[in-house]
A and B are shown apart, each in its own frame.
Chain A
Amino acid sequence: MSVSSPYGIRLRPPMKSGPGRRSSPLHWRWTDRLALAFAWIAGLGLCAIAAAIVLYMGYRGVQYLRPSLLVSRPEVSLSQSGSGGFLDPVLGTLMLTAIGIVLAAPLAIGSALWIAEYGRPTWLARIVESSIEVVAGTPDIVIALFGLAIFQLPLLAPFSFTASGGGVFGRSFLAAGSMMSLIALPPLFTATRDGLQAVPDHMREAAFALGKTKIATIRAVLLPSVRSNIATGVTLGISRIIGDTAIVVFLLGDTPRLEPQGSAPVTGLLRGTGSTLTSYVFDNSPAGEGGAPQKAYAAAFVLIVFVLGLNLLVDRIGRSHADANGLNVAGAVV
């Protein structure tokens, strides 16, 4: 079995895995076998649950969703056939998402830049990071309650409807959107910060070595490097906003239709109330008023399509960025 090399050194034959090696789970300890079985069951079980949700909602959605529902406005009616469609909740969802992201993005990207590129003094950086963690960990209903307390202050009366007696209503797209930005901020912050921290230091030094200032480096090198991370964070933030109900019920008024306040075209709408798909689903489901359960299913289907679409988008952004720039995932430069 020996192989001799031209230099007269005898090489050992390659090692074989003998019969003593535990190669099959059948030879494992029973606890290990149990753990392996559990891991398989857990993984497959989650697949089954996800499939069940999507398939059931898909089935119900196909059963009840009519294109006319997407373009007709809701009506207040006791019978399901007379309750109209859910155009207003769809528009409400889109508006609220836009407001939330427009408010959250500069805050999140700015604080991520500060943490990753400045971050001095260290104790302050630590406080900032834990504050964002606190916001991320606060239940949305607590944020909603806090928002209501804030926006009912007389000082903030211009942001929502004020009753003739001077009572501040505290519910509007602006109020709900600003609290929604707190929901969207943590994922956007984390994605941007992680992206910046993955940019190797020699990239920054290369820009400094060309005589660039720190701010020019951030603008021309770092922000473009983390474009895909920001896009991922924005998409995650959007899906958080789309999925939230508590803030809508507390701060958007949850009126079936968009109800502008005053006659100004844009500000009236922003100061007005409305609803979103999530609150529409809740209101029309048997758990809410239960007026139109079939429409709740149809709206839930639209909601799930939105969110799955966004997830696909996150995936595509990461991948196309990697393809376009020869980067690996998360924008890290190899």
Chain B
Amino acid sequence: MSPEEMLLDPLRLAAEAEPERIQPQRRIHAAEQPGQGPVVPPVRTIVLDRAPLPAPPPSERASVRTQLAGAGPERLRLEEVSIDYGPKQAVKSVSLSIHQGEVLALIGPSGCGKTTLLRTLNRLTELTPSASRAGRIMLDGEDIHELPDTTLRGRVAMVFQQPNPFPMSIFDNVAFALREQSRKRPRRRELEPQVIEALRRAGLYEEVRDNLDGPALRLSGGQQQRLCIARAIAPRPEVLLMDEPCSALDPISTKTIEKLIGELRRDLAVVVVTHNLAQAHRIADKVAFMYLGDLIEYGSTAQVFDEPRATRTRDYVGGAFG
């Protein structure tokens, strides 16, 4: 065989070099023959061109998680919450509890209802005219539907997928969240400590301290998202909702924000919707896996990822569908 021909057939080349790697594939092909043994679902086979990487060493994040595990008081409790958009049921009877000091990651394939569930926690789903809801959501023992929506949203803050600072200065973006409706407009001097505190907690203050009056839209994407976090946490909410907060950001900004989420949960309950399983694994203490509107599995991150109870969860976290 000429070298040229060998190049054309990497599989054969690999088989000749290390025949044992090819074995599993052959076995499955054999099983697929009709009338020969049990029917095995088709499995994508991958021929490795090198040995798999060793498992990564436990990250810094994971160790922080174990330190903080064992959460604070319960903040939100969902009791059989269902949400319908017209005839379509987006969330089916979900019960969960969310504690302070914990990051809960909602994971699941697109359209599984995780964002809808998140937006229900601060009643943003009510903005969709066709949406209706059943079940109860309790915030510190109070039904959120009995609170005025403006009060509720001060206590359950939210950060969106796209960084969306308002077209005003950095200072005013944070101050806007602090100024209450129909009250006398507080002076800048009164608000300044709270604004700086919020920027500092969001890890942005050092970068913008000389430019507090500059337009917020001039910041980079990652800085804008941290400004949105500062804006959300400025009124000292009890729960912080995050809808894929890193999906529009670069890896370095993502890392900064993940680190920030780890710090914020000390005095907040954090609920993160994410498509990124690795991210859920890095940042979450608890994971809720949703599929087609059902809550399939809920448990600690280690349990859901390493010992999932449901087959669906195992397939999803194993990457069989997504």
Contacts and interface: CB of A to CB of B under 8 A. Distances in A.
Contacts of A205: 124, 127, 158, 160
Interface stretch (A31-39, A68-76, A210-218): A210-218
Q: Do most interface residues of chain B lie in helix, strand or loop, or is the interface mixed?
A: helix
Contacts of A213: 150, 181
A177 B176 CA distance: 39
B18 to A, nearest CB: 14
A324 B168 CA distance: 11
Most buried by A among B151, B166, B176: B166
Contact of B8 (A10, A224, A227): A10
B93 interface: no
B153 A8 contact: no
Given A7-B10, A8-B6, A209 B168 contact: no
A216 B166 CA distance: 13
Contacts of A224: 166-168
A325 B164 contact: no
A220 B164 contact: no
Interface stretch (B23-31, B228-236, B308-316): B228-236
B7 A8 contact: yes
Contacts of A10: 7-8
Contacts of A263: none
B253 interface: no
Nearest to A325: B217
B181 A209 contact: no
B162 interface: yes
Interface string A195-215: 000001011011111111100
B181 A220 contact: no
Interface in A314-334: 324-327, 333
A9 interface: yes
A6 B57 CA distance: 29
A221 interface: yes
A79 interface: no
Contacts of B166: 203, 206-207, 220-221, 224-225
B293 interface: no
A97 to B, nearest CB: 28
Nearest to B214: A324
Interface residues of A, number: 28
Contacts of A4: 7
B120 interface: no
A202 B127 CA distance: 12
B17 to A, nearest CB: 11
Contact of A209 (B151, B157, B167): B157
Nearest to A7: B49
Contacts of A207: 166, 176
Interface in B1-33: 6-8, 10, 13
B163 to A, nearest CB: 9
Nearest to B156: A209
Given A205-B124, A205-B127, A206-B160, A212 B215 contact: no
Contact of A212 (B7, B157, B181): B181
Contacts of B167: 221, 224-225, 227, 325
Contacts of A202: 160-162, 164
B235 to A, nearest CB: 7
A210 B7 contact: no
B232 A210 contact: yes
B164 A208 contact: no
Most buried by A among B10, B13, B228, B235: B10
Interface string B161-180: 11010111000000011000
B153 A208 contact: yes
A220 B216 CA distance: 14
A210 B157 contact: yes
B204 to A, nearest CB: 17
Nearest to B129: A120
B203 interface: no
A325 B217 CA distance: 5
A210 B177 contact: yes
Nearest to B14: A8
Interface in A277-334: 324-327, 333
Contacts of B235: 210-211
Contacts of B151: 211
A207 B157 CA distance: 10
A326 B218 contact: yes
A114 to B, nearest CB: 17
A209 B124 CA distance: 7
Nearest to B161: A202
Given A4-B7, A210-B177, A210-B232, A200 B162 contact: yes
Contact of A210 (B10, B154, B217): B154
B301 interface: no
A326 B160 contact: no
Nearest to A223: B167
B116 interface: no
Nearest to B10: A8
Interface string B38-58: 000000000001000000000
The 7 closest A-B pairs by CB, nearest first: A209-B158, A211-B153, A211-B154, A211-B150, A325-B217, A8-B10, A326-B217
Interface of A: 4, 7-10, 200, 202-203, 205-213, 216, 220-221, 224-225, 227, 324-327, 333
30 contacts: A8-B6, A8-B10, A8-B13, A9-B10, A200-B164, A202-B161, A205-B127, A205-B158, A206-B158, A206-B164, A208-B127, A208-B153, A209-B122, A209-B124, A209-B153, A210-B157, A210-B176, A210-B232, A211-B150, A211-B153, A211-B177, A212-B176, A220-B166, A220-B168, A220-B176, A224-B168, A325-B215, A325-B217, A327-B217, A333-B164
